[in-house]
Chain A
Amino acid sequence: MNIELQAREIQPQRQTFARVAAHTGDKPASRYLEAMLGAQPAEHFHYKPTWEQGFELYDKRRTAIVMNDWYALRDPRQFYYASWTMARARQQDAMEANYQFVESRQLAQKMSDALRAQVCTVLLPLRHVAFGGNMNNCQICSRGYGTAFTAPAMFHAMDQLGVAQYLTRLGLTLEEPGALEAGRNDWLQVKAWQPLRQYVEDSLVVLDPVELFIAQNLALDGLLYPLLFTQYVDDHLAVKGGTAVAMLTNFIPEWHTESARWIDAVVKVAAAESEHNRTLLSGWYSRYVERAASALAPIAALALGDDAERALADVKTALEARARKAGLDV
């Protein structure tokens, strides 16, 4: 018996989901686009929220920003759940290797007691700042509109939690568990931390998700991370023999730089949409950046001493350049 084998090409009837094709046309779409486009529930809501009269469950009107298409606020990193978790898992592996390196050579113990204590005084209360960032990004996800904007906000919320956890682990590596408690007490009682605590607690009740996005992700984080992790940990501590701290917190500035791309892209697209949006965003930015800078001034002094003013001015200038590049009137 003779069997002839032939290759037959079968053309797929459609290249992607209808909800994606509505945005991109019927051509193969990346996983990121398929995970995001058309994923925002938009109709057939059975009930109106009883806790917020006058709004639908998912509602564009919760923010003063007006977008013709909320899916335009794309994430340049193209994170969807799988690519985000894989990226973070890789970074976690690198961090584990750093911890192993520092612990096996006892680098933390080689730092002077005074330096270790100062690092804990400066960095451990930041666990609570990061937790505020987590709550705020959850709020942005919950009140925002459009998966393009809300999904990365949720990733960002979880990343903030990761930052808090790395800071916890740093405290446990450098000192006894009591150091975490001491950081909490500083956060609640020490005078230098109160302006920042006030900023964080005030931001927790901001209702407009995009305003909150500016207040937390652009204004506060845009100053805090470069100030305390680039200026303090990388530059200031390194010359004093605290390189171990830079290794143990390596994820934090790395994540800040990476996520800044997303934050800037969102601001840029929203500001370019209309005069109305640009005015609103610029107003929010200048209001919050002033507040954040003055809230961070005592912390900068705590960390950098005489160098504090110069460092704070530097990070402020850098953030201003970022905002200008994103199209805000600064």
Chain B
Amino acid sequence: MTAQNSTQPRSKVFIAFQDNEESRPVIEAVLADNAEATAAYTPGLVKIDCPERLVIRRERIEENTGQPYNLQQLQINLVTLSGHVDEDDDEFSLSWGR
């Protein structure tokens, strides 16, 4: 990998959820844990873009809801995503890196 400079476009990953009560704590967690993430709200859908890498942390979602959370629950409201998925019990991340 070469060092990034501002003129080079950076590849983005994205993830989109249904806009509902269940995905709100997840979206809040993503925006809190990824400084560069931006959320775009369209009717019924929230699409989050993030350059390079996006991570969803179980701990942060649990902080938001006060309830135990299994990361696989996010599949219920997941609409679409792009990027290589890397998933374990604590983190769900998307990136184009190898």
* Residues of A participating in the B interface, judged by any CB pair closer than 8 Å: 7, 9, 28, 30-32, 75-78, 83, 87
Contact = CB atoms under 8 A, between A and B. Distances in A.
19 contacts: A7-B43, A9-B42, A9-B43, A28-B24, A30-B21, A30-B24, A30-B25, A30-B65, A31-B21, A32-B66, A75-B66, A76-B66, A77-B66, A77-B67, A78-B65, A78-B66, A78-B67, A83-B67, A87-B67
Contacts of A30: 21, 24-25, 65
A7 B45 CA distance: 13
Contacts of A31: 21
B29 to A, nearest CB: 13
Contacts of B43: 7, 9
Q: Which of B24, B43, B66, B67 has the most CB of A within 10 A?
A: B66
Contacts of B42: 9
Interface residues of B, number: 8
A262 to B, nearest CB: 9
Contacts of B25: 30
Contacts of B65: 30, 78
Interface of A is mostly: loop
Given A78-B66, A78-B67, 6 more contacts: A9-B42, A30-B21, A31-B21, A76-B66, A83-B67, A87-B67
Interface in B13-45: 21, 24-25, 42-43
Contacts of A76: 66
A7 B24 CA distance: 23
A75 B43 CA distance: 32
A176 to B, nearest CB: 39
Interface string B47-87: 00000000000000000011100000000000000000000
Contacts of A7: 43
Nearest to A8: B43
A28 B43 CA distance: 15
A327 to B, nearest CB: 20
A87 B68 CA distance: 11
Contacts of A83: 67
Contacts of B66: 32, 75-78
A90 to B, nearest CB: 11
Contacts of A78: 65-67
A76 B25 CA distance: 14
A32 B21 CA distance: 11
A31 B25 CA distance: 11
List the 5 shortest-distance A-B pairs measured between CB atoms, nearest first: A78-B66, A77-B66, A76-B66, A9-B43, A78-B65
A218 to B, nearest CB: 20
A212 B15 CA distance: 49
Nearest to A11: B41
A30 B63 CA distance: 13
Contacts of A32: 66
Contacts of A75: 66
Contacts of B67: 77-78, 83, 87
A15 to B, nearest CB: 11
Nearest to B24: A28
A268 B7 CA distance: 50
